[in-house]
């Protein structure tokens, strides 16, 4: 019986993880849950899955939960320290890291430092401090399992092969809702249209990242650290159908790919049960129903966020943390209709141009770069609005 902790249990990844656990109660049980402010949804999860410990980032939400729950068998913690305590629980067999954004970095790294196995669903910790995460995992002798569909596909396509034989890793992108838009059309892109992803149902932030292709840029940076692969060997292809989730090309010309219908339960369950596979019984992939699969080269003129992510990876040090923070601030501004869709890239670019990248030595370096970039990006947004 694997004891599972879920950081970000009330989000889409958390809900899918709990669905898997409910299907296999003889294989998995919930040890701990972490959420942000959704105390009512967390309460429902507690009453269903009976974890030992939970935490909310918001102390007021945690107090409301304690008052309603009134259950001495469930420990309710709050704030950053409470989240870290749950993440590092000594009884856990696997920590599912699915907190959206930079907020996931500290508890995820703390879990690794405590020797806990981690399955990573959010990109930001690896983007901000991938080198530190991998160095600590190696010190602890533990793996980091990828949950993103693209990184899980790469992980599966690498299984049984020598890493030195890899020529290229190719991540697939759906292209998002604006793939066919001209730049002029994207100037008038509405929030409602940006939130309509063609193939996946995801949270608001990651859906906007998909629309700008920043999501793919963040995945490139994550792949660099997850698979120890330089930027020169990381490519992207736009694959509108989202059936091929990523590919690995070897030096003899062979290309391995992982295919499947869009369903996050597949990569989540593989990380949870590795090296086994659990019988999820999803809808069968009938390729004849598709007729053809299409592939396109990404356009960094219309989607400059992708080029900015490659620039951050090549710049190294704290620059990826700056990119990530500026993107989070800009996306939040777009979600609140404070800036236009195309202004997201402008805010990120201006913030990166204003930065002086530093060598990433410790966690505090990444956190300071994150803090500075958020302030700078906010100033850029204010300048655009004035």
Any bridge partners for residue 256, and if so which? 248
pTM: 0.92
Q: What's the CA gap between 289 and 41, in Å, rounded?
A: 38
- The pLDDT of residue 200 is 63
| Domains of the chain, first to last | 2-146 (3.40.50.720), 149-262+274-299 (no CATH), 316-386 (1.10.1740.10)
- The pLDDT of residue 199 is 67
- The pLDDT of residue 386 is 62
Q: Is omega for the bond preceding 222 within 30 degrees of 0, making it cis?
A: no
The Cα angle at residue 155 between residues 2 and 150, in degrees rounded to 5: 105
Residue-level pLDDT, tens digit, the chain, 386 residues: 999 999 999 999 999 999 999 999 999 999 999 999 999 999 999 999 999 999 999 999 999 999 999 888 999 999 999 999 999 999 999 999 999 878 899 999 999 999 999 999 988 899 999 999 999 999 999 999 999 999 999 999 999 999 999 999 999 999 989 999 999 999 998 888 888 877 666 678 889 999 999 999 999 999 999 999 999 999 999 999 999 999 999 999 999 999 999 899 999 999 999 999 999 988 889 999 888 999 999 999 999 999 999 999 999 999 999 999 999 999 999 999 999 999 999 999 999 999 998 999 999 999 999 999 999 999 999 888 76
- Number of Cβ atoms within 10 Å of the Cβ of 248: 26
Q: What's the CA gap between 355 and 368, in Å, rounded?
A: 12
| Contact between residue 166 and residue 250 where contact means Cβ atoms under 8 Å apart | yes
Residue in this structure with the two tokens 């694997």, named with its chain if needed:
2
């Amino acid at each position: 019986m694997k004891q599972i902790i879920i950081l970000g249990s009330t989000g889409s990844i958390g809900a899918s993880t709990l669905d898997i656990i409910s299907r296999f109660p003889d294989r998995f049980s919930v040890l701990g849950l972490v959420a942000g402010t959704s105390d009512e949804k967390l309460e429902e999860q507690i009453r269903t899955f009976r974890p030992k410990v939970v935490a909310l980032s918001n102390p007021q939400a945690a107090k409301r939960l304690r008052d309603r729950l009134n259950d001495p068998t469930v420990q309710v913690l709050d704030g950053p320290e409470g989240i870290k305590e749950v993440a590092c629980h000594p009884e856990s067999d696997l920590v599912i890291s699915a907190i959206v954004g930079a907020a996931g970095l500290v508890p995820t790294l703390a879990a690794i430092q405590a020797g806990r196995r981690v399955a990573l669903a959010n990109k930001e910790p690896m983007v901000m401090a991938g080198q530190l995460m991998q160095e600590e995992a190696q010190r602890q002798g533990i793996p980091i399992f990828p949950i993103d569909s693209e990184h899980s596909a790469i992980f599966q396509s690498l299984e049984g092969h020598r890493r030195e034989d890899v020529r290229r890793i190719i991540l697939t992108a759906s292209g998002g809702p604006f793939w066919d838009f001209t730049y002029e059309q994207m100037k008038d892109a509405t929030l409602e249209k940006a939130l309509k992803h063609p193939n996946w149902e995801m949270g608001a932030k990651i859906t906007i990242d998909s629309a700008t292709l920043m999501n793919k840029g963040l995945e490139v940076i994550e792949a660099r650290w997850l698979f120890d692969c330089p930027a020169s060997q990381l490519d992207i292809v736009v694959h509108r159908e989202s059936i091929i989730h990523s590919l690995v090309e070897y030096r003899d010309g062979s290309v391995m790919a992982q295919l499947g219908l869009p369903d996050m339960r597949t990569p989540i369950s593989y990380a949870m049960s590795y090296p086994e596979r659990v019988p999820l019984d999803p809808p069968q992939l009938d390729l004849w129903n598709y007729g053809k699969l299409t592939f396109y080269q990404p356009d960094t003129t219309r989607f400059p966020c992708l080029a900015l992510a490659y620039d951050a990876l090549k710049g190294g040090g704290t620059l990826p943390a700056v990119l990530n923070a500026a993107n989070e601030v800009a996306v939040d501004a777009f979600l609140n209709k404070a800036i236009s869709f195309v202004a997201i890239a402008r805010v990120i670019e201006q913030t990166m141009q204003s930065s002086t990248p530093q060598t990433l030595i410790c966690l505090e370096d990444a956190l300071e770069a994150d803090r500075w970039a958020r302030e700078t990006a906010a100033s850029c947004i204010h300048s655009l609005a004035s």
